[in-house]
Structure 1
Amino acid sequence: MASPQYAPKDEDAKWLTPGVASLGAASFFSDAGHEIATSVMPAFLTSVLGGSAAALGLIEGVSDALTGTMKVIGGPLANDPARRRRLATGGYIITAAATAAIGFATAVWQVGVLRALAWAARGVRSPARDALLGSLARPHTFGRAFGLERAGDNLGAVVGPLLAAALVAWLGLRPAIWFAFVPGMLAAVAIIFAAREARALPTGVRRPIRLDVQGLRRAGIGRPLLPVLLFECGNLATTLLILRATDLFTTLGFANAASLAILLYAGHNAVAALIALPGGFWLDRVGPRRVFASGAIAYVLAYGLIALASIHWVFAVAGFLLAGAGVGLAETAESALIARILPDELRGSGFGVVGGIQAVGNIVGTVVAGVLYATASPAAAFTYAGAWMLLSACAARVFRAPASSGQNPG
C-alpha cells in the first residue's frame, strides 16, 4: 500500500481507466434499475396485489437486513481476485433478474421472496465491486475513483424514479417493473467489462475464505470504524426525510405533498451525485478525514434545518440538499479510506465489515428516530440524528490511514 500522495501529472491524468469508468457505469445503471422497481412497488403491492403498508414495511425491513448480512458474508469471499470477479458479475445479474421478476408476481409473498433475493445479491456483490475498484484504481486516485462510483450510484437514484413515473403513465405498473431489467443488465455488461480488465492484473496465490480479524486490526481498520458507526447511527433512512417533507406540504393536498417530497428526494440524490466526484478529487489532495468530517457537519446543518422546517418550507429544501452533500462526501471518504488502509488480500473483508456496520447503524438510528417522530415530534427525531452526526464529526480525527501505510494520513 505504500505509495506517494501525489503522482506525476501524466500519471494523474490516467486515473479514469476503462475499468474505473465501467464500474461507475455499473453503479449508475444498477441503481436506476432497482429504483424504478422501488418507486413503483408500493403502489403495485397495495393497489394490484391487495397488500398492506405493514406488508411493505416487513418486506423492506427483511430485505435491508439481508443486504447488511450478505455484505459481511460476501466480504471474505471477495478477498480472492478471481472469486470477486464472479461475485460482482453474478450479483449484478441476479439483482437485475429478481427485481424485474417482481412485475410477474401474483401474490404479496412472491414480492417478498424476489425482493429479498435481489437485495441479498446486492449485498454480496457490494464488497466484491469495491474490492474490484480498489484493484483497478491507482492508490493516489482512490478518492476520485470511489467518488465516480458514488456519483453514478446517486445519479441512478435520480434517473430511476423519473423513469418510473414516465413508464407508469405510459405502460402501467407491471410493465414499468419489467423495464427495470434493461438498466440492470446494462449494469451487468459494464461489470463484466471491468472484470475482464481486472483479469489481466497479477493475482498471486489463491486466497482462502476467512474473515481475518487480526489482519484487519493490524492493518489499522479498528479506529476509523468508530466515526463510521457514529455517522451511520445518524444516517436516517430517506423514507423519514420524505415523510417529513410530505407532512410539511399536506396543506397543498396529499397528492401534491407526495409529489413535492419525491422531487426533494430527487434533488437530494442529485446533489449527492454532483458532489461525490469533486469530493473525491479533494480527498486525493487532503486525505479522507477532512472530507468525512465535512460530510458529517453537512448532515448536522441539514438535520437542524429539517427540524426547523415548520417555520418555513425553504428550510426543508436547504436541509434535503445539504443532506445530499453529506452523503456524497462521507460515503466517498469511507470507501476510499478502506482502500487506502488495506492491502488487496484484505479489502473484501474490510468493505464487508464496513457494510455490516452501516446496516446496523442505519437500523438503530432509523428505528429510534421513527419512534421519536411518532411519539414526541419530528424536531426531536432530527435533533437526535443530528447529535450522532456531531459526535461523528468530533470523532473524525481518528478517521485516517495509519502512518505506516505510507498514505497521507489526512
Structure 2
Amino acid sequence: MTTPPASDLPSTPEQERWLTPGVRGIGSASFLADVGHEIPTALLPSLLTSTLGAPAAALGAIEGVSDALAGAARFGGGVLADDPARRRKVAVGGYTTTAVLGAATAVATSVWQVGVLRAAAWTARGLRVPARNALLADIVPTSAYGRAYGFERMMDNLGAIFGPLLALGLVAWLGVQWAIGLSVIPGLLAGVAIVYAIRHTPKPASRDKVPLRIRVRPVLQGGLGRLMAAVAAFEAGNVAATLLILRATDLLSPGHGTHTATTIALGLYTAYNVAATVASVPAGRLADRLGPRGPVLVLSGGVAAFAVSYSLFAVSGAAVAALAIPFLLAGVGIGAVETAQHSAVAALAPTDLRGSAFGLLATVQSLGNLAASTVAGILWTALSPTVAFTYLAAWMILALVGLLFTTVRRAD
C-alpha cells in the first residue's frame, strides 16, 4: 500500500515540522544549482568577447534565444510534471543536464558552440522548474506551503549571491575557462540533492502513467484563473533587474564617474538580492498564518512594494541613500511575490494538474518578463527613464486591482 502525498493528508503536529529532509533537499538543490549556473552566466560575456572575440551582439542573441527556449520548456515541463512518477525523472534529468551543458561551454571553440550549449542548458533548466515545484507540494501539508516555498526561494536567492562571488574567486585563481568548467561540481551536487529529496518523498499512489496532454483550460478555471490574470499583469511590469542597475548607473555617473557608479550600482543590486533572501521565509510564514487568503494577501504586499519602488525609480535623484530605498523595496517585493505565487498555485491547483499549473505560471513569468523589459527599454530610449518606470508602476497598480478582486471572490 502506498502513501498519498503529504498535502492530501490531514495536518498533524508531526507534519507541522515542515522543514523535513525532503524540503531541505529541494532547498539545497536550488542553492547548488543557482551557484552552478550563475558561474557560467557571470563569465559568459568575458568568454565570448575576450576569449572568442565575438561582438556584444552575439551575447544578446545567445541570451535572447536561450531565455525564449527556457520559457517554452517550462510550459512543456509542466505537462510532463503532471505525472508524479515522471516529474521525479524530469527533475533529476533537468538538474544534471543543466550542470553538464553549462560547464561544457568552457571547452567551446566557437561562438555557435557556446550558443548551442547555452540554449540546451537553459532548456533543461526550464524543464525542471515545474517538476521541482510540484515535488515540493507533494511533501508538505497545505498549511505549510508558504514556509516551504519561502525556504526554497531563500536558498535560490542565496545561490544568486554566492555564485558570482565564487566566479570571481575562481577566475582570479584559475582563469575564465577553468572557472566555467568547475561549475559542474555544484551543478551535479544539486542533482544529488534532488535525488535525496525524492527519496524522502511519498511514492506515487498509482503506478499508471498519466497521458501527456496539454491542459490549459482546466488550470484556468475558478480561483486559479483569476490569480493567473493578476500574476500576468504583475509580470508584464516585472522588469529585468539589469534595468534597475542601469538606472542607478546613469544617475550616479555624473557625480561619481562611470567606474565608481557601476561599482555602487552593483553593490545596490547585491543589497536587492540580500533583501529578497531575507524576505522569503518571513513572507511564507505570514502567508501560512493568514489562512486560505494568506498567499494572495502576501502577493499583494509584494506587488505594492514594487509599485512604490518603480515610482521612486521614476523620480529618484543621484543620492546613493535615495537609490537604496527602491532597490531594497524591489528585493523585498520579489522575495514576497515569488514565495506567494508558488504557494498560491500549489494550494489552488488540482492535485492531478499541479505540473501544468506550475508550468503555466513559469510560462507567464517568462513571457511577462520579456514583454516588460522590451517595452520598458523602448520607452526608456524613445522618451525617458521616468516614462519607462511610470509605465511599469502602472502595471503594478493594475495587478493590485486584480489581486483585490481575487481576494474578494475568495472571501465570498
Q: How many angstroms apart in 1 are the aligned matches of 2:125 and 2:379? A: 30
* SS of residue in 2 equivalent to 1:249: helix
Partner of 1:284: 288
TM-score by length of 2: 0.93
Q: How many angstroms apart in 1 are the aligned matches of 2:202 and 2:408? A: 28
Partner of 2:80: 77
Letter of the structure 2 residue corresponding to residue 300 of structure 1: A
Higher mean C-alpha displacement, 337-346 vs 195-204 = 195-204
Higher mean C-alpha displacement, 264-273 vs 115-124 = 264-273
Residue 111 in structure 1 maps to residue 114 in structure 2: yes
Whether the 8 Å contact between 1:268 and 1:320 is mirrored in structure 2 is yes
* SS of residue in 2 equivalent to 1:215: coil
Higher mean C-alpha displacement, 372-381 vs 152-161 = 372-381
Matches within 5 A, 1:5-404: 7=11, 9-12=13-16, 14-198=17-201, 200-203=203-206, 205-218=208-221, 220-251=223-254, 252-286=256-290, 287-399=294-406
Shift of 1:375: 1.8
Whether the 8 Å contact between 1:337 and 1:401 is mirrored in structure 2 is no
The C-alpha deviation readout for 1:260-296, integer Å capped at 9, x for no partner, is 2222222111111110111001001111111000000
Q: How many angstroms apart in 2 are the aligned matches of 1:387 and 1:137? A: 36
Q: How many angstroms apart in 2 are the aligned matches of 1:84 and 1:401? A: 34
* SS of residue in 2 equivalent to 1:15: coil
* SS of residue in 2 equivalent to 1:16: coil
* Two-structure CA RMSD over aligned residues (Å): 2.2
Whether the 8 Å contact between 1:143 and 1:284 is mirrored in structure 2 is yes
The C-alpha deviation readout for 1:95-150, integer Å capped at 9, x for no partner, is 11111111111111111111101110011110111111111111110111111111
Letter of the structure 2 residue corresponding to residue 324 of structure 1: G
Cα gap change, 1:178 to 1:254, in 2 (>3 Å): farther
Cα gap change, 1:255 to 1:173, in 2 (>3 Å): farther
* SS of residue in 1 equivalent to 2:239: coil
* SS of residue in 2 equivalent to 1:198: coil
Shift of 1:52: 1.5
Taking only the aligned residue pairs, the percentage that are identical comes to 47
Shift of 1:48: 1.1
The C-alpha deviation readout for 1:13-63, integer Å capped at 9, x for no partner, is x11110011101111111111111111111221111111221111111111
Letter of the structure 2 residue corresponding to residue 281 of structure 1: R
Cα gap change, 1:144 to 1:203, in 2 (>3 Å): farther
Letter of the structure 2 residue corresponding to residue 118 of structure 1: A
Whether the 8 Å contact between 1:288 and 1:399 is mirrored in structure 2 is no
TM-score by length of 1: 0.93
Cα gap change, 1:272 to 1:99, in 2 (>3 Å): same
Cα gap change, 1:288 to 1:401, in 2 (>3 Å): farther
Shift of 1:213: 3.1
Q: How many angstroms apart in 2 are the aligned matches of 1:128 and 1:276? A: 21
Whether the 8 Å contact between 2:15 and 2:141 is mirrored in structure 1 is no
* SS of residue in 2 equivalent to 1:35: helix
